């Protein structure tokens, strides 16, 4: 089956599927692979995704709204608690749950703990075993059997989200479980996220990729202004990178502004590809002490 296409059958299969699982299992990569384009940001670091992000997969006889969610884990800090609440809330809003695990890892305790979150769900769950490209052939079947004993999954599907392997089989399993119904969105809309939101996420992704372990988790991105000049075919964007400490601000800016320039350059490249226009991107860095513990500020971020 060609991705995004299916023979017309006279009815439309529609529904919402939440992609959940432990941090860094590849949820965002899977969403992008199913859609055939990049909607959700990715990085090698866990807990990159903070908000619920919807990708819309439309075919001739189906429309599936895929929700990329923050990683399920036992959180303590206010920011992480809100992220987990976002993921758990999705379980009550969907028709199917795609529970994603990284099979290149031994079955660690955090992945087993994440399955416990499914106890609050009343909808079918598909177990998606990701990163099978990193497994030896004789390791896959025992892994499927072991995970299959932990929860009554409706199906178990091995995939490699990075290379797109197995995603067609996964889509077939999703459609098998979905009800018939009306479409939620026009066929040409790949996400319900605004351009402003995606731009902020792109900038945050570059921070994850260009800075060390501590810095990304202490940063947030606010889009201050977003204006388009049609005559010049130019979009001007002003954004603020928020950090918790002055030392983090210095790291983000870098020597003579070099790090901030690199973040801006890499972000602008992706934003221009997203918008199909030239972009003038202006970045500032601001300290908001301990913002990750500031519940009001976290709510203002949309979490």
Q: Residues 121, 224: one domain?
A: no
Least Cα distance to 224 among 164, 285, 181, 265 occurs for 285
How far is it, in rounded angstroms, from Cα 202 to Cα 204? Answer: 5
Least Cα distance to 19 among 45, 60, 57, 58 occurs for 57
Q: Residues 147, 35: one domain?
A: yes
Q: Residues 151, 295: one domain?
A: no
- Give the tens place of pLDDT for each residue, 241-275: 999 999 999 999 999 999 999 999 999 999 999 99
Q: What is the pTM of this model?
A: 0.80
Please report, for the domain that includes residue 230, its CATH number: 3.30.300.20
Does 244 reside within a domain?
Answer: yes
How far is it, in rounded angstroms, from Cα 289 to Cα 6? Answer: 51
Among residues 133, 148, 177, which one ends one of the domains?
Answer: 177
HSE of 161 in the Cβ direction (CA atoms, 13 Å)? 25
Q: Residues 261, 157: one domain?
A: no
Among residues 112, 145, 177, which one ends one of the domains?
Answer: 177
- Give the tens place of pLDDT for each residue, 224-236: 999 998 888 899 9
Q: Residues 219, 173: one domain?
A: no
Residue 258: give the domain boundaries: 195-300
How many domains, the chain?
2
Q: Residues 133, 107: one domain?
A: yes
For the chain, give the mean pLDDT.
84
CB 133 within 8 Å of CB 160? yes
- Could you tell me the two tokens for 251? 């790291």
HSE of 144 in the Cβ direction (CA atoms, 13 Å)? 15
Query: 44 versus 263: which is more confidently predicted?
Result: 263
Among residues 177, 204, 228, which one ends one of the domains?
Answer: 177
Strand partners, 157: 128
């Amino acid at each position: 089956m060609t991705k995004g296409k299916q023979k017309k059958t006279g009815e439309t299969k529609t529904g919402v599927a939440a992609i959940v699982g432990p941090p860094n299992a590849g949820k965002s990569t899977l969403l992008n692979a199913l859609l055939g384009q990049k909607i959700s940001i990715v990085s090698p670091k866990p807990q990159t995704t903070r908000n619920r992000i919807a990708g819309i997969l439309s075919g001739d006889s189906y429309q599936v709204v895929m929700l990329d969610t923050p990683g399920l884990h036992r959180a303590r800090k206010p920011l992480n608690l809100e992220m987990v609440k976002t993921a758990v809330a999705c379980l009550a809003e969907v028709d199917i749950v795609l529970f994603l695990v990284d099979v290149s890892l031994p079955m660690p305790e955090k992945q087993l703990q994440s399955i416990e979150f499914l106890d609050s769900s009343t909808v079918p769950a598909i177990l998606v075993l990701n990163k099978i490209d990193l497994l030896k052939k004789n390791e896959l079947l025992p892994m499927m059997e072991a995970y299959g004993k932990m929860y009554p999954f409706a199906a178990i599907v091995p995939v490699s989200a990075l290379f797109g392997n197995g995603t067609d089989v996964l889509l077939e399993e999703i459609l098998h479980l979905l009800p018939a119904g009306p479409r939620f969105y026009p066929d040409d809309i790949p996400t319900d996220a605004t351009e402003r939101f995606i731009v902020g996420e792109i900038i945050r992704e570059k921070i994850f990729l260009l800075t060390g372990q501590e810095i990304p988790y202490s940063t947030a991105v606010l889009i201050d202004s977003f204006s388009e000049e049609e005559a010049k075919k130019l979009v001007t964007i002003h954004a603020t990178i928020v950090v918790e400490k002055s030392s983090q601000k210095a790291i983000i800016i870098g020597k003579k502004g070099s790090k901030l320039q690199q973040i801006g350059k890499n972000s602008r490249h992706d934003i221009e590809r997203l918008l199909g226009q030239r972009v003038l991107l202006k970045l500032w860095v601001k300290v908001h002490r301990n913002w990750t513990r500031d519940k009001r500020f976290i709510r203002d971020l949309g979490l």
